[in-house]
Amino acid sequence: MKVFRLSQAELDDMVQQWSTTRRVYRPATGRQQPAQADCAPGWERAGDGAPLTVAAGPSKASVKTFLFPQPETMQTYSLKSSDPDRALLKEAAKAADKQIVVGLRPCDARSVQLNNLPYRDDPYYQAGLVRTVMVGFTCKAMCSTCFCDQMGGSPMATEGLDIAVSQLDDSFVAEALTPAGEELTAGLDLTPAADSDLKALAALRKDCPQPDNARLDTLKGRDLNTLYKAPLWQGLGESCINCGACTFICPTCYCFDVQDEVVRGAGRRIRYWDSCMFPLYSLHTTGHNPRGLKMQRTRNRFMHKLKYFPDRFGPFSCVGCGRCVQDCPVNIDIREVISDLLTVE
Amino acid sequence: MISYLPYPVRIDDITVETEDGNLKTFKLVFENEAQQKAWKHVPGQFAMLSLAGQGEIPIGIASSPTEQGHLLFTVNRAGKVTTALHQMHPGARMGVRGPLGNGFPIDTEMKGKNIVIIAGGFAVTTLRATLIYLMEHRRDYGKITFIYGARTPGMLLYQKELQEWAKRDDVELHITVDREAPGWNGLVGFVPTIAGQVAPSPENSVALICGPPIMIKFTMPPLEKIGWTDDQVYLSLENRMKCGEGLCCHCNVGPTLVCKDGPVFTRSQVRQLPLEY
Amino acid sequence: MPAIKAARSAGGRGHGPLLPPCVLHDNFFYRTRTDYMPTINEKLTEEIRAQARTLLADGTVAAVIGFARGSLPMTVKPVVVRAAADCGRLVWNSFCVLNLANYLPEVLKSVEPPRGPRDPKPAGPLPKVAVLATGCWSRNIVVQTQEHQVDRERVVVMGVASRGMVSRRKVESHFSGREILAVEELDHDLLVTGADFADKINRWSVVRDNCQTCIHPDPVLVDVRIGEPASARKNPNPFKQVDDLEAQTSAERWAWFTSEFSTCIRCYACRNACPLCYCPTCFVDDARPQWVGKSLDPVDTGLFHLLRAYHCAGRCTDCGACESVCPMGINMRMLTKKLNKDVLNLYGMEAGMQPGSPLPLTTYATTDPQKFIVTEAKAVKEDE
């Protein structure tokens, strides 16, 4: 592992240099900025010379869009009658060029690891992991809606990052943690971190909230049916408007739907984000809907994150980034849901 | 690594199964011989049928692994993809992705046991696959009882085969229709009633039940009455699904993924699940 | 439990001083909690609680739809209260941006005695539901009645004049990224507190655009009055924003449209927060035929927003819920506002203001203006 010390100007210069040969993305600085053609909502291309500033807390849009694009073209085909390969599905060409994501937070880096549990055999996600280099910023402070430390993470965690940038009093420390990270720093004129920098970094790590799962982990031992039948779902379901905001801004919601799109004989099969909040999600062709009630759908999302997923994979499917807490139109707060679930008799 | 790319197949033959024309059996032949040879499934598994421009649908595999060289799928015309499929003709290209799911425990819990198969309506498809497999491996299993009912004689699937199976003395066949019908000399009555009358003792036996939920609900009490337990009864669940590989999450019944953990479950497993199917 | 050391600060400019530790209720999510947020309008809240208690206690209604405290500053939770003892949960403040009429049909259904899909409607009157309603929400109840979604006889409207609801987004952008930890509502100001600041800002300056241009703050239906009635507000041109947009060239308008909707994530919060959107299957969800693609293609996204706006023509009361709930901050209200302007100019109607008359787009009169019907000759002429 190599550790460097950077000023703001040197940090900007480093990003600028990357952007001359690779695509570099950063969290969009303002909503007014129209999403650029090859950028997902909430992200923009870095390298325009503007200084890199990363607002405290998680970025508006999560990093999942880089590994789990909205949409992902899975296969392509032709429906032209003249084509001998008519209706033959072919694997779509996968982008293989490296993309660099700058400015994600430790919670998002952890979400990539969590989603990799169900997606460990998914070719598209795995290809995304290979081509995406993540340059994250650790958090010197937590927002009021952050609770990463309660969900098994930590504001200073570096797990899942290729380069971790931490802010000291008047400078930054960049740790190149993986071969991909070291490759990015190689050949750049960077100042190695001094002992005092390393000490300062270690002090920050020591003082920051440490992963503290003890209390939440009691949820994992709870009986599924008790939680499933808890009375709190009724009230939540009544407030919930069943939009997909929480699921789309969530870094660990990973459901998808598959659709065929044909334009003038050229077809593609895409997968794109779906939301278990939508009634269509579980609707049978017969008209029967196993989760036909709003309450059932609201419950499904929380039960998936807090019970079904940990039962299958171990950790909760939540990194405590607090995006849904911030953006839920009806203020359904997962922290309150967890607190209430812990006290269910 | 999962592959979402369907194998290219051609429709070799289409059989209209029922009098209302809503059920057709599609005989599919692989375009690529190597892929055909590599294909291995167990009865009770399903596959994604893929129509370019329309989408994919999960359908139970109606052919037995012992039927070499082709796959059979009996499809009810209901939604977007099945409607398009029903309009297709022999020779057309489509795709198959799979096999998916767990299938019936033919090599484990079913081995050496008496097998009771109870089917209602067009849920008989994977049970056809199972019965043919059992008959091909006849010595591995005990007594085989096959109970199958439909609304009318014209709604019975696989009629020619039913007649052939009826001639065999190593399978006990009970075919029933809901109401008396002209020209029908067989059993009359709902599946649960017939099952109550002809089901053998539960000793060293396993039952496979597929049909509409209401049929399954009413079939259980007569079986329980003669001593059958939930562990001996296998059911197959259905839910909306997209990937078939346990990723897209659509088919979850509480913590259970129908596509990956199922679709075949024992009745005692199903009873532990929330009512989300 | 380590004490939390610092709060959010402005992007990239170093971090602010320490946030005072606040451990609340032995709750392990200790940083912000509801009781930290005194965003309550005491007088109206007490009145709402008292009236709700009476309505539930004497059996007039089976449920009351209102708001409870939120878990963050400037948020509230829509809730359904079914027992007089729970009425203490209800609150009223300047952050009630959701339209409660949206919940009305479903709650009305929930209080009916259970019955099968083919069972006849039970004889005798069905239980009633009380709902808090400002000017625009009450107009939505009128529209719901006109469209037979709601039985007026079963609704007790707790009418409350709106002072104009505050836009959380405007307040947040006023403090440009510094995290807000508490907001207190004063008579004409908001007292906004963060880890390293406490500022008073003028309330009206951060009121939502739709409320700033609203001329009907008082409910048009009132069964139970909460607070004092408000007189109609004067506004020489409630459609100024639309006029400004219309004054632009078509290229500029197109640039605005593509830019504004480019960040849409298709979560449909705007649709689901809207009391007008009650179709069992929305056109965007339809599979047979599939009208709209499902990914983030700008054509599909734009089509969704345009069609949704047109579905609201003549029915929209400009309550602003769509805009308030959008997680991406898209001003989709401009589309419906434009159509509101057209309906007013063409038919002299405002949704929900004429309970007795039919909705403008469900009726036809020979005197209806027809100039929007594009004839071939006219189209050619306009092209020249």
CA distance A268 to C37: 50
Lowest-pLDDT range of A268-272, B180-184, C31-35, C186-190 = C31-35
**Can you give the residue range of the structural domain that contains A331?**
216-342
Instruction: Please identify which residue in the block is written with the tokens 């994530």.
Output: C265
What's the sign of the alpha-carbon dihedral C238, C243, C245, C246? positive
Residue C10 above 60 pLDDT? Answer: no
The 3-state secondary structure of chain C reads: CCCCCECCCCCCCCCCCECCCCCCCCCCCCCCCHHHCCCCCHHHHHHHHHHHHHHHHCCCCCEEEEEEECCCCCCEEEEEECCHHHHHHEECCCCCCCCHHHHHHHHHHHCCCCCCCCCCCCCCCCCCEEEEECHHHHHHHHHHHHCCCCCHHHEEEEEECCCCCECHHHHHHHCCCCCEEEEEECCCEEEEEECCCEEEEECHHHECHHHHCCCCCCCCCCCEEECCCCCCCCCCCCCHHHHHHHCCCHHHHHHHHHHHHCCCCCCCHHHHCCCCCCCCCCCCCCCCCCCCCCCCCHHHHHHHHHHHHHHCCCCCCCCCHHHHHCCCCCCCHHHHHHHHHHHHHHHCCCCCCCCCCCCHHHCCCCCCCCCCCCCHHHHHHHHC
- Average pLDDT value over all residues in chain C: 85
Residue C18 above 70 pLDDT? Answer: no
Q: What residues 208-267 of chain B have any CB closer than 8 A to a CB of chain C?
A: none
pLDDT-derived band at A287, boundaries 50, 70, 90? confident
Task: Say yes or no: C176 and C307 in one domain.
Answer: no
Task: Say yes or no: A177 and A284 in one domain.
Answer: no
Q: Choose one of A169, A195, A210: the last residue of a domain.
A: A210
Does some domain include residue A80?
A: no
Residue C182 above 60 pLDDT? Answer: yes
Q: Does A314 touch chain C (CB under 8 A)?
A: no
Task: Say yes or no: C82 and C148 in one domain.
Answer: yes
Q: Using one digit for the tens of pLDDT, what is the confidence trace for B58-87?
A: 999 999 999 999 999 999 999 999 999 999
Closest among C50, C41, C4 to C164, alpha carbons compared: C41
Q: Choose one of A150, A179, A210: the last residue of a domain.
A: A210
Of the candidates A212, A244, A327, the beta carbon closest to that of C268 is on A244
A229 to chain B: closest CA residue: B274
Task: Say yes or no: C248 and C213 in one domain.
Answer: no
CA distance A299 to C19: 34
pLDDT-derived band at A308, boundaries 50, 70, 90? very high
Instruction: Please identify which residue in the block is written with the tokens 């007089």.
Output: C84
Inter-axis angle of helices C333-347 and C298-311, nearest 10 = 40
C287 to chain B: closest CA residue: B80
Q: What residues 274-293 of chain C have any CB closer than 8 A to a CB of chain B?
A: 287-288
pLDDT at A176: 95
pLDDT at C32: 47
Residue C379 above 80 pLDDT? Answer: no
And the tokens for C68? 């409870």
Q: Does A330 touch chain C (CB under 8 A)?
A: yes
Q: What is the DSSP string of chain B?
A: ----PPEEEEEEEEEE-STTS-EEEEEEEESSHHHHHH----TT-EEEEEETTTEEEEEE--S-TTSTT-EEEEEE--SHHHHHHHT--TT-EEEEEEEES----TTTTTTTSEEEEEEEGGGGHHHHHHHHHHHHTGGGS--EEEEEEESSGGG-SSHHHHHHHHH-SSSEEEEEESS--TT--SEES-HHHHHHHH---STTEEEEEES-HHHHHHHHHHHHHTT--GGGEEEE-----SSSSS-S-TTEETTEEHHHH-SEEEHHHHHHS-S--
Does some domain include residue C20?
A: no
Q: Choose one of C218, C235, C252: the last residue of a domain.
A: C235
Q: What is the identity of the amino acid at C244?
A: D
Q: Using one digit for the tens of pLDDT, what is the confidence trace for A63-121?
A: 999 999 988 999 999 999 899 999 999 999 888 889 999 999 999 999 999 999 999 99
Q: What residues 253-272 of chain A have any CB closer than 8 A to a CB of chain C?
A: 257, 259, 261, 270, 272
Looking at residues C182-193, what average pLDDT do you find? 88
Q: Does B79 touch chain C (CB under 8 A)?
A: yes
Does some domain include residue A26?
A: yes
A87 vs B248: CB contact, 8 Å cut-off? no
Does some domain include residue A15?
A: yes
- Average pLDDT value over all residues in chain A: 91
Instruction: Please identify which residue in the block is written with the tokens 């529209």.
Output: C143
What distances in angstroms separate CA A104 from CA A14, A58, B73, C44, one per listed residue?
16, 7, 48, 43
Looking at residues C74-97, what average pLDDT do you find? 94
Partners of C225 in the β-ladder: C159
The 3-state secondary structure of chain A reads: CEEEEECHHHHHHHHHHHHHHCEEEEECCCCCCCCCCCCCCCEEECCCCCCCCCCCCCCCCCCHHHHCCCCEEEEEEECCCCCCCCCCCEECCCCCCCEEEEEECHHHHHHHHHHCCCCCCCHHHHHHHHHEEEEEECCCCCCCCCCHHHHCCCCCCCCCCCEEEEECCCCEEEEECCHHHHHHHCCCCCEECCHHHHHHHHHHHHHCCCCCCHHHHHHHCCCHHHHHCCCHHHHHHHHCCCCCHHHHHCCCCCCEEEEEEEECCEEEEEEEECCCCCHHHHCCCCCCCCCCCHHHHHHHHHHHHHHHHHHHHCCCCCCCCCHHHHHCCCCCCHHHHHHHHHCCC
Does some domain include residue A135?
A: yes
Q: Does A118 touch chain C (CB under 8 A)?
A: no
Does some domain include residue A76?
A: no
CA distance B97 to B4: 7
Task: Say yes or no: C219 and C270 in one domain.
Answer: no
**Can you give the residue range of the structural domain that contains C364?**
237-384
Q: How far A291 CA sits from the closest chain B CA (Å)?
A: 6
pLDDT at C124: 84
Looking at residues B153-159, what average pLDDT do you find? 93
Beta A99-104 vs B23-30: how paired, if at all?
unpaired
pLDDT at C1: 31
Task: Say yes or no: C231 and C266 in one domain.
Answer: no
Residue C78 above 50 pLDDT? Answer: yes
Is C241 within 8 Å of C260 (Cβ atoms)? no
Task: Say yes or no: A149 and A12 in one domain.
Answer: yes
Task: Say yes or no: A180 and A34 in one domain.
Answer: yes
pLDDT at C280: 86
Q: Does C324 touch chain A (CB under 8 A)?
A: yes
Which residues of C fall within a CB distance of 8 Å from B80?
287-288
Residue C374 above 70 pLDDT? Answer: no
Looking at residues C92-100, what average pLDDT do you find? 95
Does some domain include residue C335?
A: yes
pLDDT at A149: 86
Task: Say yes or no: A251 and A116 in one domain.
Answer: no
Does some domain include residue A69?
A: no
pLDDT-derived band at C324, boundaries 50, 70, 90? very high
Q: Does C259 touch chain A (CB under 8 A)?
A: yes
Q: Does A21 touch chain B (CB under 8 A)?
A: no
Task: Say yes or no: C259 and C247 in one domain.
Answer: yes
Q: Choose one of C174, C201, C235: the last residue of a domain.
A: C235
Task: Say yes or no: A114 and A7 in one domain.
Answer: yes
Q: Using one digit for the tens of pLDDT, what is the confidence trace for B125-151?
A: 999 999 999 999 999 999 999 999 999
Q: Choose one of A210, A240, A270: the last residue of a domain.
A: A210
pLDDT at A344: 87
pLDDT at C117: 79
And the tokens for B92? 């057309």
CA distance B167 to A257: 47
Domains of chain B by start residue, with CATH: 7-100 (2.40.30.10), 114-236 (3.40.50.80)
Task: Say yes or no: C230 and C326 in one domain.
Answer: no
Does some domain include residue C119?
A: no
Which residues of B fall within a CB distance of 8 Å from A123?
1-4
C290 to chain B: closest CA residue: B80
Residue C204 above 80 pLDDT? Answer: yes
Lowest-pLDDT range of A85-99, A237-251, C3-17, C319-333 = C3-17
Residue C270 above 70 pLDDT? Answer: yes
Of the candidates A144, A207, A325, the beta carbon closest to that of C5 is on A207
B contact test, residue of A78, A229, A269, A289 with most B CBs within 10 A: A269
A290 vs B94: CB contact, 8 Å cut-off? no
pLDDT at A34: 58
Q: Using one digit for the tens of pLDDT, what is the confidence trace for A27-74?
A: 987 655 555 667 888 898 888 878 888 888 899 899 999 999 988 999
pLDDT-derived band at C21, boundaries 50, 70, 90? very low
| Total structural domains within chain A | 2
Task: Say yes or no: C270 and C155 in one domain.
Answer: no
- Average pLDDT value over all residues in chain B: 93
Task: Say yes or no: A111 and A252 in one domain.
Answer: no
Closest among B75, B84, B70 to B24, alpha carbons compared: B75
Partners of B95 in the β-ladder: B8, B50
Residue C6 above 50 pLDDT? Answer: no
Beta C155-160 vs C224-226: how paired, if at all?
parallel
Task: Say yes or no: C224 and C265 in one domain.
Answer: no
Does some domain include residue C378?
A: yes
Task: Say yes or no: A158 and A289 in one domain.
Answer: no
Q: How far A128 CA sits from the closest chain C CA (Å)?
A: 19
B78 to chain C: closest CA residue: C288
Does some domain include residue C14?
A: no
Q: What residues 275-304 of chain A have any CB closer than 8 A to a CB of chain C?
A: 275, 278, 280, 294
Looking at residues C181-204, what average pLDDT do you find? 89
Looking at residues A285-297, what average pLDDT do you find? 92
Task: Say yes or no: C180 and C110 in one domain.
Answer: yes
A contact test, residue of C274, C284, C295 with most A CBs within 10 A: C295
Task: Say yes or no: A227 and A189 in one domain.
Answer: no
C266 vs A248: CB contact, 8 Å cut-off? yes
Given a contact as 3+ CB pairs under 8 Å, which chains touch B?
Answer: A, C
CA distance A171 to A182: 20
Task: Say yes or no: A227 and A304 in one domain.
Answer: yes
pLDDT at C8: 33
Q: Choose one of C235, C263, C295: the last residue of a domain.
A: C235
Q: What is the identity of the amino acid at B222?
A: P
B84 to chain C: closest CA residue: C288
Its pTM stands at 0.92
| Total structural domains within chain C | 2
Task: Say yes or no: C212 and C88 in one domain.
Answer: yes
pLDDT at A210: 82
Q: What residues 253-272 of chain A have any CB closer than 8 A to a CB of chain B?
A: 254-260, 262, 267, 269, 271
Does some domain include residue A225?
A: yes
pLDDT-derived band at C373, boundaries 50, 70, 90? low
Residue positions counted in chain C: 384
Is C29 within 8 Å of A335 (Cβ atoms)? yes
The ipTM of this complex is: 0.90
pLDDT at C72: 86
Instruction: Please identify which residue in the block is written with the tokens 């001003």.
Output: C331
Residue C7 above 60 pLDDT? Answer: no
Q: Using one digit for the tens of pLDDT, what is the confidence trace for A203-262?
A: 999 888 888 777 788 888 889 999 999 999 999 999 999 999 999 999 999 999 999 999
Task: Say yes or no: A331 and A249 in one domain.
Answer: yes
C28 vs A215: CB contact, 8 Å cut-off? yes
Task: Say yes or no: A37 and A163 in one domain.
Answer: yes
- What percentage of chain C carries pLDDT values higher than 90? 60
pLDDT at C274: 96
Task: Say yes or no: A106 and A39 in one domain.
Answer: yes
pLDDT-derived band at C13, boundaries 50, 70, 90? very low
Task: Say yes or no: C166 and C150 in one domain.
Answer: yes
Which residues of B fall within a CB distance of 8 Å from C287?
79-80
Inter-axis angle of helices A334-342 and A232-239, nearest 10 = 170
Which residues of B fall within a CB distance of 8 Å from A304?
249, 252
Does some domain include residue A74?
A: no
Partners of C191 in the β-ladder: C184, C200
